[in-house]
Amino acid sequence: MNLPSEIINRIICFIKPCWYPVVYYLFNNTLNIPQPSLFQLNKFLYHSAKKGDKQLCYLAKNLGAKDFNYYMIKGSAKGGHEHICRLAKKWEATNFDLMLYNAAQSGYEHLCRLAKKWGSTDFNIMIRGAAKGGYKHICCLAKGWGANDFNEMLCCAAQNGHEHICRLAKEWGANDFNEMLISATFGGHEHICRLAKEWGANDFDEMLHEATEEGHVHLCYLAKEWGATNFIDMLETAAEEGNEHLCRLAKEWGATNFKEMLLIATQEGHKHICHLAKEWGATNFNRMLLTAAFGENEELCRLAKEWGATDFNGMLCKAALRGNEELCRLAKEWGATSFSIMFSLAKENGHAHLCFLAKEWIEEE
């Protein structure tokens, strides 16, 4: 059966990359469908290994999957499947440190022991994995084998909200409580943040930055309550993330750096934040235009012009630097005339098509 390629492509869009190789295997003789990519094959191998399905691992290999040293060993260790780990080793996988890490993170002691037997010696990576997973017995095993990076253990536990592992790391000598605070903030774990503060953490501005970046509003309030004052950074970070609610909160708390907010929002392509910055008084629309042109964002170039930007020669130069012919033509349409500079920039950056265009426009003058 030969279905039109457009229909086949639409069907493929609904199939997860990791299972597309199965569809190909079942239907390639009856449907004209493309071969799976190496990425799809390796993802299929990973999920087959994680499921512990030996037959599917063989199928992945027969179809062309090659990365037994990463996808297969990682999946089998995460899933706790010793027979698949052994099969990966048979197929010449040697990344036993990765096996150790994932086995520790999933709490599989027998696979940790097997990885060590096969030559893994990175017990600090093991203790990090165990801390992420919250497995005390694996942490103790790693320490018994020589792991000593207890600060990293503390941060991994904090990021994943495991208070009992945090306490264990501190008992063993961990003392980087500011990093613990930031890790806990990244994970959104208020109880661990409070524990870090109780133990001496005091970098509340960095906590505010991390909470803003990750969108944890409740932790922004907590950081402010504890003494954070860098609301300028908060506004810029919120603008970068496109988070209007936190932009408004930063302004409410005293931030006034709306010009920088406008440029950051333009750089990241957040139109709604650009509108907010303008509403609050930002007027640096020429800088906005240049930033949008360098970012090849035509919509924001048009918006900057609508708001009063006039530096179309600067826009032309930025577009020439990026090799963007469409924006160069738009800049010319709006009145740009610096075609000699455009030619130099295009030549310097290897944009031959723009060199020809610039010469054409120079000759027209």
pLDDT digits (tens, 9 = 90+) for 141-163: 999 999 999 999 999 999 999 99
Q: How far apart are CA 120 and CA 305, in angstroms?
A: 60
Q: Half-sphere exposure of 363 toward its Cβ, with a 13 Å CA cutoff?
A: 6
pLDDT recorded at residue 246: 98
- ∠20-24-27 over CA atoms, to 5°? 130
Which parts of the chain register pLDDT below 50?
1, 3, 7, 11
Q: Tell me, what's the pLDDT at 1?
A: 46
Distance between CA atoms of 292 and 312, rounded to whole angstroms?
A: 12
Q: Tokens standing for 31?
A: 């449907």
d(CA 7, CA 17): 17
Q: Which of 83, 79, 111 is nearest to 96 (CA)?
A: 111
Cα gap 55→62, rounded to integer Å: 11
Please report the pLDDT score of residue 9 as a whole number.
53
pTM across the whole model: 0.89
CA trace torsion 202, 206, 207, 213 (10° rounding): 180
- Distance (Å, rounded) from C-alpha 323 to C-alpha 345? 9
Query: Strands, DSSP E only, in 138-271?
Result: none
pLDDT of residue 36: 86
Q: Is 201 helix (H, G, I), strand (E, B) or coil?
A: coil
Q: What is the CATH number of domain 1-115?
A: 1.25.40
pLDDT tens, position by position, 242-275: 999 999 999 999 999 999 999 999 999 999 999 9
Residue ranges of alpha helices (H) inside 52-95 are 54-63, 73-79, 82-90
**∠ CA(146), CA(199), CA(218), 5° rounding?**
110
> In this structure, are residues 42 and 18 in contact, taking their beta carbons and an 8 Å threshold?
no
φ/ψ (deg, to 5) at 131: -65, -40
Question: Considering only CA atoms, which of 285, 275, 276 is closest in space to residue 255?
Answer: 276
Judged by DSSP in three states, 118 sits in coil
Phi, psi of 39 (to 5 degrees): -60, -45
188-232 pLDDT per residue, tens = 999 999 999 999 999 999 999 999 999 999 999 999 999 999 999
